[in-house]
Amino acid sequence: MEESNRQKKISGILQEDISNVISNVLRKNAVANLIVSVTKVTVTPDLGYAKAYLSVFPAAKATAVVKEIVKMTGEIRYEVAAKVRHQLRRMPELQFFNDDSLEYMDQIDKELKGENNPIDNPDILPRRKKS
């Protein structure tokens, strides 16, 4: 189902505010050498739930960082709600997921350059998991 203009606008607002809040939380906790960006936010048609996809660099720390952010969902939701209180009547529930698309594209790029040829060995390139 295609997103409505309202969903797209709210997704954009939430993406920017979630990104700002997460960077402030990381800065407050003195986490160094870590970049977290919100790559995409999708909102359900009833505006009750918002899925935020996070890209973490370095990728080795991605699962641990996303788990910590999931633990802080209440705090993040509260701070984002304070920022969008004049734009939204009700703050959607936030759900955070790891966005592994950059690593996946990097792996495909390596395959195309011939480092690991998937034609010779089809088991090299695993099936992509849907989130």
pLDDT at 51 over 90: yes
In this structure, of 32-41, 56-65, 104-113, the range with the lowest mean pLDDT score is: 104-113
pLDDT at 39 over 90: yes
Tell me the HSE value of 130 on the side-chain side, using a 13 A CA sphere: 0
Extents of the domains making up the chain: 5-99, 100-131
pTM for this one? 0.80
Mean pLDDT for the stretch of residues 50-64: 91
Tell me the HSE value of 15 on the side-chain side, using a 13 A CA sphere: 16
Alpha helices in the chain (DSSP H): 5-28, 62-71, 73-83, 101-113
Helix (H) or strand (E) holding 121: none
Contacts of 108 (CB under 8 A, 6+ apart): 125
Is it true that the peptide bond before 122 is cis, omega within 30 degrees of 0?
A: no
Most confident of 5-19, 30-44, 108-122: 5-19
Mean pLDDT for the stretch of residues 41-50: 95
Per residue in 120-131, pLDDT tens? 777 766 677 776
Distance CA 5, CA 11 (A): 10
pLDDT given at position 125: 67
pLDDT given at position 3: 85
Query: What CATH number does domain 5-99 carry, 1.10.260.30, 3.90.1300.10, 3.30.300.20, 3.40.50.2300?
Result: 3.30.300.20
pLDDT given at position 107: 78
Contacts of 100 (CB under 8 A, 6+ apart): 59, 62
